[in-house]
Amino acid sequence: MSQGPATRPAPVQGVFVGMPTPLYAASPSRLLAWLDCPRRYRFAYLDRPRPPARPQRAHTSVGVAVHNALRDWWDQPQRSAEAAAALVGRSWIDLGFRDSEQSRRWRERSQAEVAAYVRGLDATVPPLGLERTAAFKTSVLAFFGRIDRLDDRAGQLVVVDYKTGRHRLTDEDARTSLPLALYAAAVWKMFRRPCLRVELHHVPTGTIAAFEHTSESLTRKVREAESIAADLRRADARYAAQVPDAASFTPRVSPLCQWCDYRAHCREGQQAGPEKVSWAALEENTDDRVTDETQSGGRIDRDGGGWADGFEDGSEGDGHAEGDGDSGAGAHHPAQS
């Protein structure tokens, strides 16, 4: 009996049959949104049109003004504390506060905190990068993100992330931070030099939480990101195929629901408690995730304008990380298998 032609799967839109699986492009916001709550991830990254998010909160306004001032300060002819305070005033966004009096009080407080913070900096040694996009690829993941500050301290590359929330940070926070580790891996890849030290600079107190990674600990974080990306790829595919699989985007109800930008669209989250007022994080010692800009669901898109922008900026000479052999100083880059 003659054999008919071998059957092959029907083509999937956007993918040629036989094409290698594209890398999964992900920023820290995307990875962490999934870990925090798959339902919120769906609202922020898959539903189109995106459900309208609530108006900006006051702590976000404070965070944006402080980050902008600390970036622009290095371009000032006089890198003084007064210049830093003036920059906070110029960047101030009067959104989310209880009233203009609260906004004024917080502007002055932030100006004083940023001025005190820059007094501790060596103004004669500019950083290697400010709000620089960093990226790397592995065999499954194309990571990109934006680093607040990258220092070169006598040859040692250091990733610095500014924090502006009330919550005080510990070295354990620096050790366990997935975004910080991925930034360090990206810097290592881009500069072809080991980057192991990561620091969280808490601007309100001027304190620093730090951790010195090893090649092995960065590798573990890269593997963790790859594992999250694999979950995301499956969830995205189910969503695209309109598989009736509500379990893929189960709401993860937690105290964070009281802060969630999308709770108006989420019945389960509304049952977690009343919504926090817009200025609540200014007054409470909240979970750091509430005031972490990388987890703000896109409210401050400091991960870059999009994957293409981010990748091209950070991919200097990059290809698939596996086997490209470009790690520095004979050390083993964490993105290599």
Q: Return residues touching ligand SF4 (CB under 6 A).
A: 37, 39-40, 251-253, 256-257, 260, 262-263, 266, 268-269
Question: In angstroms, what is the minimal distance from the CB of 34 to ligand SF4?
Answer: 11
Supply 268's token pair: 């389960």
Question: In angstroms, what is the minimal distance from the CB of 177 to ligand SF4?
Answer: 20
Select 35 or 253, whichever has its Cβ closest to ligand SF4: 253
Question: In angstroms, what is the minimal distance from the CB of 303 to ligand SF4?
Answer: 19
Select 47 or 151, whichever has its Cβ closest to ligand SF4: 47
Question: In angstroms, what is the minimal distance from the CB of 39 to ligand SF4?
Answer: 4
Question: In angstroms, what is the minimal distance from the CB of 230 to ligand SF4?
Answer: 21
Select 40 or 146, whichever has its Cβ closest to ligand SF4: 40
Select 268 or 284, whichever has its Cβ closest to ligand SF4: 268
Select 181 or 257, whichever has its Cβ closest to ligand SF4: 257
Question: In angstroms, what is the minimal distance from the CB of 255 to ligand SF4?
Answer: 9
Select 136 or 262, whichever has its Cβ closest to ligand SF4: 262
Select 293 or 318, whichever has its Cβ closest to ligand SF4: 293
Select 210 or 272, whichever has its Cβ closest to ligand SF4: 272
Question: In angstroms, what is the minimal distance from the CB of 146 to ligand SF4?
Answer: 24
Q: In DSSP terms, which residues pair with 21 in a beta bridge?
A: none
CB-based closest residue to ligand SF4? 269
CA dihedral 188, 190, 334, 126 (to 10 degrees): 20
3-state secondary structure labels for all residues of the chain: CCCCCCCCCCCECCECCCCCCCCEEECHHHHHHHHHCHHHHHHHHHCCCCCCCCCCCHHHHHHHHHHHHHHHHHHCCCCCHHHHHHHHHHHCCCCCCCCHHHHHHHHHHHHHHHHHHHHCCCCCCCCCEEEEEEEEECCCEEEEEEEEEEEEECCEEEEEEEECCCCCCCHHHHHHCHHHHHHHHHHHHHHCCCEEEEEEEECCCCEEEEEECCHHHHHHHHHHHHHHHHHHHHHHHHHHCCCCCHHHHCCCCCHHHHCCCCHHHCHHHHCCCCCCCCCHHHHCCCCHHHHCHHHCCCCCCCCCCCHHHHHHHHCCCCCCCCCCCCCCCCCCCCCCC
Select 44 or 196, whichever has its Cβ closest to ligand SF4: 44
Question: In angstroms, what is the minimal distance from the CB of 278 to ligand SF4?
Answer: 16
Q: What are phi and psi of 153, to 5 degrees?
A: -100, 95
Q: What's the one-letter identity of residue 156?
A: Q
- Tokens 């009233």 identify what position? 99
Question: In angstroms, what is the minimal distance from the CB of 267 to ligand SF4?
Answer: 8
